[in-house]
Structure 1
């Protein structure tokens, strides 16, 4: 069941939701470097900036391509309010992802809780 849910959700995201959301000026975006291709990969995310950190939760944890990219190369860029910031991403499996979602934007957090199967907190340390 988890595998089927993952396949359905990621297919909808890849071909419908992500292309539409990337075009929204206010959408937060995460840019990683493809672990195989070496080219930039951009995905919409929903999180919150706290000082020089940006926090979000991956709904499929290590099965998410962008998490695999982060594990291969933690250097990322994040678009917040239309401006790009460089930083280093850190997967935090020890963090309580469900609790973390309570501190993040409600709409995205609700979707992640409903759609997700393997929640994983990610912290991006933003460069100055």
Structure 2
């Protein structure tokens, strides 16, 4: 099973990196998580699905600690989230003790279905947003 998961991970991430993410992150109302590259120091933007709840934004990473944006967060938790076309600065927290499958039930259905179907190492992320909105 581990080999199947690795092949699935490589195929899906290659598609996301080359096709899905470049298209989705350009859509004005797609939610996007911006991290700082842990090696380059450059902004890295990843389309994500999640939901704002009060002053927090919640999402579930489908590949957990294998995801590049999760590795970037571990190196520097300062992030920005574009929600409905507006950027919100915040601090990301990885929550390995949270139940990601239960969390997905509270997040947008379409993205949650894809994360459950394709993901192999689910990890919950909470971004504590500041009240400053950057356009």
TM category (shorter chain) comes to over 0.9
Aligned to 1:2, the other structure's residue is in SS state helix
Taking the aligned partners of 2:127 and 2:82, their CA distance within structure 1 comes to 12
CA deviation map 1:27-60 (0-9, x unaligned): 0000000000010000000000000000000000
Quote the residue 1:16 is aligned against. 19
TM-score, with structure 2 as normaliser: 0.94
CA deviation map 1:80-114 (0-9, x unaligned): 00000000000100000000000000000000000
Taking the aligned partners of 2:112 and 2:120, their CA distance within structure 1 comes to 13
Gaps of 5+ in 1: none
TM-fit CA distance, 1:26: 1.1
* RMSD over aligned Cα atoms: 0.4
Aligned to 2:33, the other structure's residue is in SS state strand
Quote the residue 1:110 is aligned against. 113
Match of 1:28 among 18, 28, 31: 31
Taking the aligned partners of 1:116 and 1:66, their CA distance within structure 2 comes to 15
Alignment of 1:37-76 (within 5 A): 37-76=40-79
Taking the aligned partners of 1:33 and 1:19, their CA distance within structure 2 comes to 17
Quote the residue 1:90 is aligned against. 93
Gaps of 5+ in 2: none
Taking the aligned partners of 1:37 and 1:2, their CA distance within structure 2 comes to 29
Taking the aligned partners of 2:29 and 2:114, their CA distance within structure 1 comes to 18
TM-fit CA distance, 1:25: 1.1
Taking the aligned partners of 2:40 and 2:6, their CA distance within structure 1 comes to 25
Aligned to 2:98, the other structure's residue is in SS state coil
- The question of 1:7 aligning with 2:10 is answered yes
TM-score, with structure 1 as normaliser: 0.99
Match of 1:123 among 104, 126, 132: 126
